[in-house]
Structure 1
Amino acid sequence: MAPRCFIIRHGETEWSLNGRHTGVTDLPLTANGEKRIKATGKALVGDDRLVVPKKIAHVFVSPRSRAQRTLELLEIGCRERLPWTEQRKPETEEAIRTEAKVEVTEAVREWDYGDYEGLTSKQIREQRAERGEGPWNIWTDGCPGGESPDDVVRRLDALIDEIKNKYQRPCLEGDGEQGDVLVVAHGHILRAFAMRWTGKPLTETSLILEAGGIGTLSYEHNNIDEPAIILGGQFVVE
């Protein structure tokens, strides 16, 4: 089986519930969000599940605590302590299931919404209408005071190149089974990530990844030059 890249959106927060754009604002998961992520981990992480810990080569996680808490709750069982914790959980609480290292990186932080931070799409459209500006589409317009689509493409393309060539090309060429990668981050940036994985412009984005959902990216014909999205690979446990 070709190595996979799992894109995991953090669990529910108060702002994801009401549609407010959450970039740099650091919000905790709701109680329901934590409950659902725990259930997702039990259902989808394991030797006979979608995400097989022993096959994971590396984990990239956003600097935001909502993404880091999501990774904790999935309990993939890293040997090393998570970078934001003082010590590793005792084995009696979480068995060691993977040798993968966890890297906190700005490459997968959420889109910088700039002036639109904390606003809903409806509020953004209303503000633009009051100023006599046209309709808004993040994939083409970006965010004033924040990131443009080109900004996002640059940082994602660099990360995707690293994933494919450092962690997955060796696996495809027969050098071991540890080629899967986890990316734990946010809604807009992961939707953009999936599009860039397949080399598509952000203007063609028509993907949805719900809070707590897991999407699966891989390759056709075990060929690094044929990146693909695996349909049916997105799950949300209620």
Structure 2
Amino acid sequence: MATPRVFVVRHGETEWSLSGKHTSVTDIPLTADGEKRVKATGQALVGDDRLIVPKKIAHVYVSPRKRAQRTFELLNLGIAGPLPWKVHGEKPPDGSHSCDARVEVTEDIREWDYGEYEGITSPEIRKIRAKKGLPEDWDIWRDGCVGGESPEDVTRRVDRLIKEIREKWHAPVIGKSKSEEQPPGDVLIVAHGHILRAFAMRWVGKSLQDGPALLLEAGGVGILSYEHHNINEPAILLGGAFVVSPEK
């Protein structure tokens, strides 16, 4: 039985992710270490006998921000067609991978709009709120961002993307037996920390106000799927194994 997956990839390290500054619309590049780590992730996780199998990817969604797009470039999936942006750095050498999926840039997976909190850390946000007479126990999942997006705003756009993924890419393949001809069904998303954590919460039907105790490190990879090969039982896949073909 085929159970499609969604791989969620947070962009690699930037100077602001290192310092804890909230980064949404500010488009800063990956650090040199960030680039190295993403390359290493691609080498370790991408391949016909690895966790992310390029030929099984049906579609790729990428944030409009350059740091996410550069991260996708460095994963080096072997995309056959042109990318919908001009390459942001040195092109990785062609590998042995081949992926026919189309790459789509979508606003639905851009980072949470931090509004007045752009470029500052959580402790700084709490100090600013105190000076304005606002509660200091600020929590983005409950309170959102002044001048930016609320949890309800974010919920609407990630729900829209989840609906599209399930209807367009997963429903046609989920539950089919191995004997049936299967189109690719996995989806890859490359985006940002807060929005991907929100996406994961909504994937399993939790409200953002529930407060996700979920972490996704810079350059990290998470996996979402379904229980019992059932599209009505979405789940977070805590650990996925590499694909190993049986010996003939």
- TM-score above 0.5: yes
Contact 2:112 2:195 in 1 (8 A): yes
2:20 aligned with 1:19, yes or no? yes
TM-superposition CA deviations, 1:145-165 (whole Å, max 9, x none): 100000000000010000011
1:86-235 matches, within 5 Å, as: 93-95=94-96, 97-134=98-135, 135-174=137-176, 176-204=182-210, 205-233=212-240
Name the stretch that deviates more: 141-150 or 170-179. Answer: 170-179
* Counterpart amino acid of residue 220 in structure 2: G
CA distance in 1, matches of 2:227, 2:188: 19
Contact 2:74-2:92 at 8 Å conserved across structures: no
- What's the offset of the Cα at 1:176? 1.2
Post-superposition CA distance 1:76-126 (Å, at most 9, x none): 01110111037xx99972445111000000000000000000010010011
1 or 2, which has the higher helix percentage? 1
Cα distance in 2 for partners of 1:213, 1:196 equals: 19
Give ranges in structure 2 of 5+ residues lacking alignment: 242-248
Secondary structure of 1:195's aligned partner: helix
**Which residue identity lines up with residue 150 of structure 2 in the other structure?**
S
Aligned to 2:56: 55
Cα separation, 2, equivalents of 1:217 and 1:233: 10
Query: Which residue identity does 1:229 align to in structure 2?
Result: I
| CA distance, structure 1, for counterparts of residue 91 and residue 200 of structure 2 | 35
What root-mean-square deviation, in Å, do the aligned CA atoms of Structure 1 and Structure 2 show? 1.8
Distance 2:228 2:160 in 1: 24
Give the distance between the partners of 1:56 and 1:31, measured in 2 at CA: 28
Q: 1:191, 1:207 within 8 Å by CA — same for their partners in 2?
A: yes
Q: TM-score, normalised by structure 2?
A: 0.90
Match for 1:219: what amino acid?
Y
Q: Normalising by the residue count of structure 1, what TM-score does the alignment of the two structures yield?
A: 0.93
Contact 1:23 1:111 in 2 (8 A): yes
**Number of equivalenced pairs:** 232
- SS of the equivalent of 2:156 reads helix
Distance 2:30 2:130 in 1: 33
Q: Percent identity?
A: 64
Show structure 1 runs of 4+ deviating over 2 A. 89-96
Change in Cα spacing, 1:79 to 1:90, as seen in structure 2 (3 Å) is: farther
